[in-house]
Amino acid sequence: MRISSAALCSLVLFLVALVGSTAASAAPSGNLEVESRCGVKNYVHRESQPGSPPASARVTLGTGRREYFLGENVLVEFRVTNDGSTPFGVELGGDYRGPRASRFVVTATDQLGRKVPDPNPVWGSNFGGLSRGGDVEPGSSYRENVPIMRYVDIREPGRYRIRICHDLGWNETPEAPSPSAELELDFAMPDLESAKRVVDRMERLPDCGGGLYRMNEEQCDFSAVRHPIYVPILIDRVRHGFTPAIDGLEMMDTRIKPVGDALLAFARDEMRETDPDRVAAASQFIGRLGTAADLAALTEARNEAKEQLDNAPEDHPNRQTYLRRVELLTRNLNALWQRVGPAP
């Protein structure tokens, strides 16, 4: 890596202290399921699926493990079981053409009862999609996997109670709320070697850099890799051409000074690259963290991208890519101007 020695040294010392101050707690393997209900409804009921939640509907959650490292992309299985003697219908979907399926309501609370924040409330926007579901026969279950790290921002080790609910197309009432379930999971702080293994495994998963929610699939999702322990690892992956790793860097808390310093140094190095996509991706950190000294480099990058777009004919196969690059660089340049200098 070409990060300045001062920034890298500061980050490494910070990470050593961080790992040393948080010992991972041992936890038994296996699932822990706790049935519950929550009175949250975040989707307008569809007329095609009338009725209140049936009393025979039971929701449970399950995972392959009880303990995870911070930074892993955790999938929780959401199961709707019919404990009755007649079928009922469930209806999901119409909400997944974005970073997450917005009809799922996922919350997490720590052992002190504190609610974990949403990593990005904008991700809850509903961009539509096809409906899915069907009839659930007596004794059968309908299952979906929910990538919970797109809903809850767990950054500290410890035990968390995860709650997931969904309207399932039913009309919620005070007497019959939308069914939900709870599950307790332990999150441990990885050391650097464990963190590298988390990144190695994620890199081998499909759909790296896709960004969109994929139903019932474990996928490469670096937006979950948002703990500072991963900063030097992700920077190294980007340096070696694996650009999806920048999704994790975007999620880092830059208010932590060693993290912000390392990302700014990384971005300034990237601005000197010849790959325009890497330059555009790094420009967001310049927009968020840069100083007046970065205005010239970012302005030059935006102008070069705009010239490439202007010279491309309307039917050029990469014209949309050029346009998105110009829009990204312009947005980040404006952000920097607003922070450090006058608008153009």
pLDDT at 228: 95
- What is the sign, positive or negative, of the torsion defined by CA atoms of 258, 120, 180, 93? negative
Confidence of residue 121 (pLDDT cuts 50, 70, 90): confident
Residue 96 has pLDDT above 90, yes or no: no
Residue 23: band (very low, low, confident or very high) from pLDDT cuts 50, 70, 90: very low
Q: How many CB atoms lie within 10 A of CB 176?
A: 17
Q: Which pLDDT score, from 0 to 100, does residue 304 have?
A: 93
pLDDT score of 158 more than 60: yes
Tell if the pTM clears 0.85, that is, is over it: no
Name the residue type at position 78: F
- Residue of 254, 216, 200 lying closest to 71 (CA atoms): 200
What letters, b where the CB count within 10 A reaches 16 and e where it falls short, cover 299-315? eebbeebbebbeebeee
pLDDT at 332 over 80: yes
Calculate the dihedral angle through the C-alpha atoms of 118, 123, 126, 129, rounding to the nearest 10 degrees.
Answer: -120
Please give the C-alpha separations between residue 54 and each of 83, 131, 208, 215, in angstroms, as whole numbers: 10, 20, 39, 25
Q: What does the pLDDT look like over 26-45, one tens digit per residue?
A: 333 333 333 334 444 444 44
For 252-294, the pLDDT digits (tens) are 999 999 999 999 999 999 998 888 888 998 999 999 999 999 9
Look at 4-8, 27-31, 98-102, 254-258 and tell me which has the smallest mean pLDDT.
27-31
Which pLDDT belongs to residue 114? 95
**The pLDDT value given to residue 95:** 65
Closest-CA residue to 152 (of 200, 189, 185): 185
Residues of the chain with CATH 2.60.40.2360: 30-188
144 three-class SS: strand
CATH number of 30-188: 2.60.40.2360
User: Higher pLDDT residue, 51 or 33?
Assistant: 51
- At 323, the pLDDT band (50, 70, 90 cuts) reads very high
Poorest-confidence range of 53-67, 114-128, 154-168, 311-325? Answer: 114-128
Distance set, CA 184 to CA 106, 145, 311 (Å): 13, 16, 56
**What are the tens digits of pLDDT across the range 230-240?**
999 999 999 88
From residue 233, alpha-carbon distances to 11, 13, 26, 226, 242 in Å are: 12, 15, 25, 12, 11
Q: For the chain, give the mean pLDDT.
A: 82
Mean pLDDT to the nearest integer, 323-332:
94
**Alpha helices in the chain, H assignment, sequence order:** 5-20, 192-203, 231-239, 246-250, 257-270, 276-289, 295-311, 319-340
**Band of residue 47 on the pLDDT scale cut at 50, 70, 90:** very low
**Is 340 within 8 Å of 291 (Cβ atoms)?**
yes
Q: Three-state DSSP class for 82? A: strand
Q: What is the pLDDT of residue 191?
A: 95
